[in-house]
Structure formats: C-alpha cells, structure tokens
Amino acid sequence: MKDQSTELSLYSEFFRNNGYVLVKNAVPKALCDKAISRMFAFMGQSPDDRDGWYEPAAGMDGYFEDQERGMLPFFHDQSLWDIRMYPRVYDIFAELLGERKLWVSLDRVNMKLPKRENKGQLNANFIHWDTDTSNLKFPLTIPSGGLQGVLYLADTFADQGGFQCVPDIFRDLEGYIKRQPANRDPRVPDITGYDVMPIPGEAGDLLIWDVLLPHGNGENLSDDIRFAQYITMHPAPPVSHAKSRIDSWRNYSSTFLPEDPRGWERTHNDGPAQLTELGWKLLGIDSW
C-alpha cells in the first residue's frame, strides 16, 4: 500500500495535468453528516420534508432571490471548523501548494436543491474562471498561485448540480486564448465545441482546482440535495493581518460575503468554535 506521501505526490501530478484533483476520503463521513445536520437546522428544515426545502427560514425571505446557486451564509459553526482543521485536508493543500505555513478561507456551504420549474432561480448552470485571464504570462506555472476547494459533504452524482469543469481548455489554455477574439470575456470562456465534465464524488472527498480551470456548478436534475463546503488554503501572511479574520470567527460574521440577517449562528452557539492547535494557525491567531 502506498504511504500518504506517495499518494499525495500522485494527486499533485494529476492536478498539474488536469487543473483539478479529487482526493478520496479526505474527511470522515461522520464529520460530513454533522455539518449537513447543522445546515438543516440553520435553514429550519427537515431532511424528510421535501416540500419544506423550498421554503426559506423565517427571517430569510430574500434567500431564494439572492442565493440562486444554493449558497448558504453559514460560516463558523463548529461542524465547519472541524472539517477545516482536519489534518488530512491541511496536508493535501500543503502538498499541492508546496507550502506548510497556510491560512484557511472562511467560506460558505452549498445546499443546492433539486430543480423545480417554479423555482427557476435555483437552476443555475454556469462555467467561469475564478480570475481575470486577460493578461496571463506563458508558459504558466501550475499551480498558478490560486487554488479553490470544495468538500463533498454527501455522495454527489453527475446529475446532482455539483462541480463541473472543462479540462481540455485548461490543458491548452495558451492556444485556446490565441484562437479567441480580442473582445472575449476574460472571466467567462466560450465553451463551444468543448465537453463540460461533471465530477461526481462521495461524502468526504475533497476536490481542489486551479483558478485557471474553467468550472462551475450544473443543474441539479436528481431527487436529492447537493451538499458541499468550500475550503481554500493559501500561504499565510504576517499574523498582524489576521484581525478581521479573528473578529469574523469570534462574531460568526463574514468579512466579504453576504451574512445571515437573523444572526442564527451567534444565537445557536455558546461562543466561537473551539480550535485545535492547527486551527489557531490556520485562522492566524498563532504564527507558524
């Protein structure tokens, strides 16, 4: 059996060639199940009440207008931090980035409902880049400096509205850009003639992608919810830069994303999430 170092090196090679990698069993399923349970509680919903999934929680009347992609303003619950701090998640990012001194993103979760014709705003199907591709310098260095990640909290099938991407554009990005008109959109590629590849996965799998990989979410054509947690890590700047992050963790708030108008996390937790020694460093309270 290959040891973890060899396994992660193989993931790294696949990542450089394809712009993404799906790491199996990055997080125990029990942690994923706990996060899903807390997401249902956050929304005031039940796994068994399918019609109730489409009714916003009291005080979140604008939810289906503003969160058409299934994004929940749910950031700092203990269940989410338990996943962010899980050592294998950290090891995966450290291997791909070639850096051990990292900070973790304070990002949201995704609870994308099955498609319904009377809820058209939930049926987003899109492909985009996470960065402006107008001034790239070739040959590229991969990773390009920016990684994104999403953890599959539940088994997610190809038709379930999860992650999808266009690796063929990534592999030939320089040639692709040269063939495009001068007025092309630097954040939304023309995918005419290219196959969009959905990436199914199981609960606990972690998918990481380069910002230069065209990607997005598909329509959820299944009968089940797509559950996911977004996780990104990047090289840590000086600890003195961490104040807004620490305040966000302490206050159950966000520094750059829309917040829950009810403040549910603040009123349903006894203080901020408990952090491990690794968690203190990933947040920026302790230096590396």
Number of independent structural domains in the chain: 1
Report yes or no on 75 lying in a domain.
yes
Report yes or no on 125 lying in a domain.
yes
Residue whose C-alpha is closest to residue 127's, from 48, 66, 217: 217
Is 6 or 222 the better-scoring residue by pLDDT?
A: 222
Report yes or no on 144 lying in a domain.
yes
By CB atoms closer than 10 A (0-12, 13-18, 19+), residue 225 is buried
Q: Which of 55-59, 136-140, 168-172 has the lowest mean pLDDT?
A: 55-59
pLDDT at 124: 72
Report yes or no on 114 lying in a domain.
yes
Report yes or no on 288 lying in a domain.
no
**Is 169 within 8 Å of 210 (Cβ atoms)?**
no
- Cα–Cα distances (Å) from 69 to 34, 64, 162, 191, 266, in that order, read 22, 9, 10, 20, 24
Report yes or no on 193 lying in a domain.
yes
Instruction: Identify the domain containing residue 204 by its residue range.
Output: 4-283
Residue whose C-alpha is closest to residue 125's, from 92, 173, 161, 160: 161
2 vs 111: CA distance, rounded Å: 35
pLDDT at 224: 96
**Residues near 112 by beta carbon (within 8 Å), at least 6 away in sequence:** 69, 70, 122, 160, 161, 162, 217, 220, 225, 226, 228
Residue whose C-alpha is closest to residue 158's, from 210, 72, 219: 219
Report yes or no on 17 lying in a domain.
yes
| pLDDT bucket at 11, cuts 50 / 70 / 90 | confident
| pLDDT bucket at 3, cuts 50 / 70 / 90 | low
25 vs 204: CA distance, rounded Å: 5
| The three-state (H, E, C) secondary structure of the chain, written as one string | CCCHHHHHHHHHHHHHHHCEEEECCCCCHHHHHHHHHHHHHHHCCCCCCCHHHHCCCCCCCCHHHHCCCCEECCCCCHHHHHHHCCHHHHHHHHHHHCCCCEEECCCCEEEECCCCHHHHHHCCCCCECCCCCCCCCCCCCCCCCCEEEEEECCCECCCECCEEECHHHHHCHHHHHHHCCCCCCCCCCCCCCCCCEECCECCCCEEEEECCCCEEECCECCCCCEEEEECCEEECCCHHHCHHHHHHHHHCCCCCCCCCCCCHHHHCCCCCCCCCHHHHHHHCCCCC
| pLDDT bucket at 227, cuts 50 / 70 / 90 | very high
Q: What's the average model confidence in pLDDT over 197-225? A: 96
166 vs 213: CA distance, rounded Å: 7
| pLDDT bucket at 1, cuts 50 / 70 / 90 | very low
User: What's the CATH number where 170 sits?
Assistant: 2.60.120.620
Residues 68-106 have pLDDT tens digits of 678 899 999 999 999 999 999 999 999 999 999 999 999
| pLDDT bucket at 121, cuts 50 / 70 / 90 | low
Report yes or no on 178 lying in a domain.
yes
pTM comes to 0.94
Q: How many residues does the chain have?
A: 288
197 vs 213: CA distance, rounded Å: 12
Q: What percent of the chain has pLDDT over 70?
A: 94
Helix axes 87-97, 4-18, angle to 10 degrees: 50
